[in-house]
Amino acid sequence: MGLPASEGGAPAVVFAGGGPGAALTAIALLRATTWLRLVYRIVLLDEHGRFARGRVYGSPGGDCPLEAPVKDMSALPDRPCHLLEWRRAAGAACGPGTVLARRVYGDYLADTLAATAAWAAPHAALVTRTARVAAVEADDAGARVLLADGGRVEAAAVVVATGDPAEAAPPRVAGALRAGAGAEGAAGAGSHGGAGCADGAAGAGLAACRCGAVLTGSGEPARRVFAVGAVRDGGPATVPRMRDQAEALAQRIADTVLRTPPGRAG
């Protein structure tokens, strides 16, 4: 969908991980910015190509029930009946208390992301690419996503959304503070490797402030690197929690990255 990440001059918001946390944040960002006519690209990079679904909603165990009923699981906080309407439109019997299978919810997120991207065009474009992110670097001028195959994607902002760090280690993020670590957790982390977020630290996520900005070794929020979902602070990755994170994060990126002129601090 959209333009290849290597084409066009529009700034890119790049997601390391393309599962439900990424989908919810992309949906929130598209909805928050389209009325402003901001021109940018959303690039989802997922190692397994399970866009919107991720491991939980796209795995063979997808017949397991969701953690909450339909009334609590809409991807759109201002439209609590959106999931209910989507399911009924498919001809299925569904009520507010219905608990759907995980695979069905994965289909819902994928459909909602595609529909939101189509609505946001031509101002914003959605790009999906199967690729593993190895590392993330950032400075005041921008961010860079380094791929495991040696490729590189330039970004205006990066959102780490790789899920539970106990299941999949997040990419190395230069200068980032690990969840549960003090300032020493990022000591020595720079653009050439260093501790990053989890060099060799199994299960270590990223420390982030309430708006979703990843914390640096000094405890300050990073300007261009963010996190959403279970990789952030190691908290539970329920859909209502991720949706709340996504809304706050979308507003932060819109205000401090996409609406901020190049070279000017947000």
Q: How far apart are CA 226 and CA 207, in angstroms?
A: 10
pLDDT at 32: 94
- The DSSP output letter for 254 is I
pTM check: above 0.85: yes
Q: Pull the structure tokens for residue 199.
A: 């060099």
* Per-residue confidence (pLDDT) for residue 4, from 0 to 100: 38
Per the omega criterion (within 30 degrees of 0), is the bond before 69 cis?
A: no
Instruction: Report which of 116, 107, 131, 115 is spatially closest to residue 20, judged by C-alpha positions.
Output: 107
Sort residue 54 into left (φ over 0), alpha (ψ -120 to 50) or beta.
Answer: left
**C-alpha distances in angstroms, 192 versus 73, 165, 218?**
41, 22, 18
Nearest Cα residue to 22 out of 149, 154, 122, 116 = 116
Burial string for 247-265 (b: 16+ CB within 10 Å, else e) reads: bbbbbbbbebbbeeeeeee
pLDDT of the residue at 50: 93
In a structure prediction context, what are the per-residue pLDDT tens digits for the chain, which is 266 residues long? 333 333 557 899 999 999 999 999 999 999 999 888 899 999 999 999 999 999 888 776 678 899 899 999 999 999 999 999 999 999 999 999 999 999 999 999 999 999 999 999 999 999 999 999 999 999 988 999 999 999 999 999 999 999 998 888 899 999 998 876 554 444 334 433 333 444 435 567 899 999 999 999 889 999 999 999 999 866 667 899 999 999 999 999 999 999 875 544 44
Q: How far apart are CA 64 and CA 99, in angstroms?
A: 10
